[in-house]
Amino acid sequence: MAAIPKEKPSRIDEARAQFARYKADVKARGKPFYPYAMFHDTIMSLVVVCVIIGLAAMWKWSAWGPGHDPTHKGLLGPEVDPPADPGTTSFVPRPDWYFYFLFYLLRIFKWPESVFLGTIGVPTIALILLIGLPFLDRRRERRLSARPVAMVAAVLTVLSMAVLTWKGATANEALASEVIADVPHWVQVENLPSNALPGAKLFATAGCTACHTYAGAGGSNLGAPDLTDIGTRNLGIDFQIRHLQCPSCVNPGSPMPHFASLGNERLHQLAVFLEASKGAH
Partner 1 sequence: MATTYRRTPTKAELRRQRMEELVNYPLDWLEERSGLVGGVRYFLFRNVPSDVNWMQTLGSAALTAFLVQAITGVILAMYYTPSASTDPATGKPVAWESIVNITDHVTMGWLVRGMHKWGASVFIILMFLHMGRVFLFGAYKYPRELNWIVGVLILVMGMMEGFTGYLLPWDQTAYWASVVGINLNGTAPFLGPWLAQFLRGGQEIGGETLTRFYSLHMLVIPAAIIGLITLHLYLVIRLGVTSPPWSKEAAGMEPEEEEPVTARPGLTRPVPRTAGGTAMQAEPGGRD
User: Contact positions toward ligand HEC, by CB under 6 A?
Assistant: 112, 203, 206-208, 210-212, 221-225, 227, 230, 240, 243-244, 247, 251, 254-257, 259, 270, 274
Q: Which of 218, 183, 214, 188 is nearest to 201 (CA)?
A: 183
Shortest Cβ 247–partner 1 spacing (Å): 9
Q: Which is nearer to ligand HEC, 179 or 224 (CB)?
A: 224
Residue 185 contact among ligand HEC, partner 1, none, beta carbon within 5 to 8 Å by kind: none
125 is an interface residue for partner 1 by CB under 8 A:
no
63 or 179: CB nearest ligand HEC: 179
CB 72 within 8 A of CB 79: yes
Closest CA to 174 of 131, 136, 135, 224: 224
Identity of the residue, 63 or 272, whose beta carbon is nearer to ligand HEC in the bound complex:
272
Cα–Cα distance between 30 and 27 in angstroms, integer? 6
CA distance 205 to 175: 8
For partner 1, the binding residue among 75, 86, 108, 160 (CB under 8 A) is 86
Q: Among ligand HEC, partner 1, none, what does residue 111 contact (CB within 5–8 Å per kind)?
A: none
Residue whose CB is less far from partner 1, 142 or 281: 142
* Binding status of residue 181 toward partner 1 by CB under 8 A: no
User: Which residues are within 8 A (CB) of 260 and not within 5 positions of it... i.e. 6 or more apart?
Assistant: 244, 245, 246, 267
- Name which of partner 1, ligand HEC, none residue 83 binds, using a CB cut-off of 5 to 8 Å depending on partner kind: partner 1
Min separation Cβ 215 and partner 1, Å: 24
Size of the site for partner 1 (CB under 8 A): 105
Contact of 6 with 13, CB cutoff 8 Å: yes
Contacts 24+ apart (CB under 8 A), 17-20: 18/140
| Shortest distance in whole angstroms from residue 252 CB to ligand HEC | 9
133 binds, among partner 1, ligand HEC, none (CB under 5 to 8 A by kind): partner 1
Kindly write down the DSSP assignment for every residue of 221-240, as one continuous string: -TTPPP-TTGGGG---HHHH
Contact present, 165 and 96 (Cβ < 8 Å): no
| Binders of partner 1 in range 150-169 (CB under 8 A) | 150, 154, 158
Q: Which stretch binds partner 1 (CB under 8 A): 98-106, 180-188, 212-220, 265-273?
A: 98-106
Q: What DSSP line would sit under 112-179, residue for residue?
A: GGGHHIIIIIHHHHHHHHHHHHHHH-------GGG-HHHHHHHHHHHHHHHHHHHHHHH-----HHHH
Q: Which is nearer to partner 1, 81 or 279 (CB)?
A: 81
149 contributes a contact to partner 1 by CB under 8 A:
no
Backbone angles phi, psi at 194, to 5 degrees: -65, -25
